[in-house]
Amino acid sequence: MITKIIKIDDNNIDMKGIETAGEIIKNGGLVAFPTETVYGLGGDALNPDSSRKIYAAKGRPSDNPLIVHIADKKDMEAVAACVTDKARILADRFWPGPLTVILPRSDRVPYETTGGLDTVAIRMPVHKTAAEFIRAAGGFVAAPSANLSGKPSPTSAKYVIQDMNGRIDAIIDGGDSGIGLESTIVDLSGDVPVLLRPGYITIEELKRAIGEVETDRTILDGDCKDRPKAPGMKYRHYAPKGDLTIIEGDSEDVVNLIIRLSNMAKGKKKTGIIATDETYARYDADSVKSIGSRNDEEMIAHRLYTILREFDDENVELIYSESFDSSGIGQAIMNRLLKAAGHKIIRTDNYPSQG
Ligand code: AMP
Ligand code: MG
């Protein structure tokens, strides 16, 4: 299959390109598209064959549900069997934007889209090109992130092309994703709302809007044996090819341990370091990258997946990362970093000192 690349400038949207992309979806094809979080891999959410094709293109297990993207708040009623008051409050407060809500599924949404579940995930992106594309596609676009299963989500068209060229009908190239991490997911299908995936919209913001919100245990505890409520979360995610370990502790101890560990690997394994603006100059390894300043969490979120992909491009074999504060957006950053590392952490105070 030849994958068509459709360039669209979000500030001056070419509606002919959008129409072409919309027609592909209406005819049962797949189109990757930019959003404010990461690139999505879209198909018609109401067409079971389209959803099957999405799983095939990603190499994704078919029990890992897709998010239904809409461009109009009222379309929530069409895909959910019932819309709760809390869902309305969250939609009014955070849509369009990087929040996904889980509600009971309406019969219009096939099980292929929901991974066999009786609930459906719904999001309305704020990205202008995404919204026009969703409208042109008929209003309901099922989309997971546009990466091959297990790899970091793509935050630019370059990485979508790397993973999906030849596997899907078209890619809308709309430049870089602003936020760089997937949407916050909150499950509203039970009695108490549950945060299933942290994101740019923080749990504190959700609580201010709707009161009590629980956090799924599997977000907090990497060793947790419970089955995660968001099925996709049981799979290894966001993983770079290199072996990633997170170093945790007081900042000076972290820098010193990363220097020691990377020195030990010198001449043996190609080594990368995820540093910050504050520490970047202290390291000497094959590939040292600053993810941004510790004072700028939004930049850290924005850069994380790009850095992991760059290490892949450079065939880095071993990666050490500093750790980050896990409040606010930091909860989402650490959640993705921990998954990328397969929860491999070294605490500086547990590590034998030199001798
Ligand atoms: P992705 O955007 O690629 O991370 O994929 C969408 C993710 O949304 C899935 O991996 C699930 O974690 C989550 N999700 C989608 N639908 C549901 C649902 N009905 N219930 C719980 N989680 C869901
Ligand atoms: Mg994904």
CATH classification of the domain holding 85: 3.90.870.10
209 and 327 share one domain: no
Task: Answer for the pair 108, 78: CB distance below 8 angstroms, yes or no.
Answer: yes
Q: Are residues 197 and 261 in the same domain?
A: no
Q: Please answer whether residues 32 and 172 qualify as being in contact, where contact means their C-beta atoms are separated by less than 8 angstroms.
A: yes
Do 279 and 184 fall within a single domain? no
In a domain, 141, yes or no: yes
Residues 67 and 131 in one domain: yes
Q: Give distance in angstroms: CA of 324 to centre of ligand 2.
A: 22
Distance 254 CA to ligand 1 centre (A): 34
Residue bearing the CA closest to ligand 1, atom 21: 230
Point out the ligand 1 atom lying closest to the alpha carbon of residue 120.
19
206 with 251, same domain?
no
- 36 and 152, same domain (yes or no): yes
Residue 234 lies in a domain: no
Q: Which atom of ligand 1 is nearest to the CA of 121?
A: 16
How many whole angstroms separate alpha carbon 227 and alpha carbon 230? 9
Q: Which one-letter DSSP state was computed for residue 80?
A: B
Query: From atom 3 of ligand 1, which residue's Cα is the shortest distance away?
Result: 144
Residues 42 and 104 in one domain: yes
pLDDT at residue number 233: 58
Residue 237 belongs to a domain: no
Ligand with smallest separation from the Cα of 239: 2
* Residues 294, 192 within the same domain: no
Return the bridge partners of 104, or none. Answer: 119
Residues 337, 270: one domain? yes
Ligand 2 centroid distance, CA of 341 (Å): 16
Query: Can you give the pLDDT at residue 60?
Result: 85
Is residue 152 a contact partner of residue 244, using CB atoms and an 8 Å limit? no
Residues 210 and 266 in one domain: no
pLDDT of residue 239: 85
Element of type H or E holding 194? strand 194-197
CA of 145 to the centre of ligand 2 (A): 4
What CATH number does the domain containing 262 carry?
A: 3.40.50.11030
Residue 223 lies in a domain: no
Ligand whose nearest atom lies closest to the CA of 109: 1
Within-domain flag for 220: no
* Closest protein CA for atom 13 of ligand 1: 230
For residue 227, being part of any structural domain is answered with no
For residues 122 and 131, give the distance between their C-alpha atoms in angstroms, rounded to a whole number: 14
Q: Is residue 266 included in any domain, yes or no?
A: yes
Ligand 1 atom closest to Cα of 197?
Answer: 12
In angstroms, what is the span from residue 293 Cα to ligand 2's centroid? 26
Domain count for the chain, please give it: 2
Looking at all shown ligands, the one closest to residue 183's CA atom is 1
- pTM score, two decimals? 0.95
Q: How many CB atoms lie within 10 A of CB 243?
A: 16
Locate 112 and state its tokens.
């292929």
Judged by its nearest atom, the ligand closest to the C-alpha of residue 237 is 2
Crossing angle (nearest 10°) for helices 128-136 and 15-26: 50
Pocket of ligand 1 (CB under 6 A): 64-65, 67, 102, 114, 117, 119-121, 144-145, 182, 185, 196, 229-233
Alpha helix positions (H), the chain: 15-26, 48-58, 76-79, 85-94, 111-114, 128-136, 157-164, 203-210, 217-220, 251-265, 297-313, 330-340
Distance 280 CA to ligand 1 centre (A): 35
Last residue of a domain, one of 197, 215, 233: 215
Neighbours of ion ligand 2 (CB under 5 A): 145
CB 333 within 8 A of CB 324: yes
Distance 68 CA to ligand 1 centre (A): 10
pLDDT in tens, 64-104: 899 999 999 999 999 999 999 999 999 999 999 999 999 99
Measured in Å, residue 96 CA sits from the centre of ligand 2 at 20
Tell me, yes or no, whether 54 and 183 share the same domain: yes
Residue 238 lies in a domain: no
Low-confidence ranges of the chain (pLDDT < 50): 355
Supply the range of the domain harboring residue 14.
Answer: 4-215
Helix or strand (DSSP H, E) at 110: none
What separation in Å is there between the alpha carbon of 230 and the centre of ligand 1? 6
- Examine the fold and report which residue of 164, 198, 215 is the final residue of a domain before the chain moves on: 215
Ligand 1, pocket-test mutation among 54, 55, 66, most atoms within 8 A of CB: 66
Instruction: Please check whether residues 27 and 70 belong to one and the same domain.
Output: yes
d(CA 103, CA 146): 23
Ligand 1 site-directed mutation target among 67, 113, 200, most atoms within 8 Å of CB: 67
- Please state, in angstroms and as integers, the Cα–Cα distance from residue 322 to each residue in 72, 119, 168, following that order: 41, 37, 36
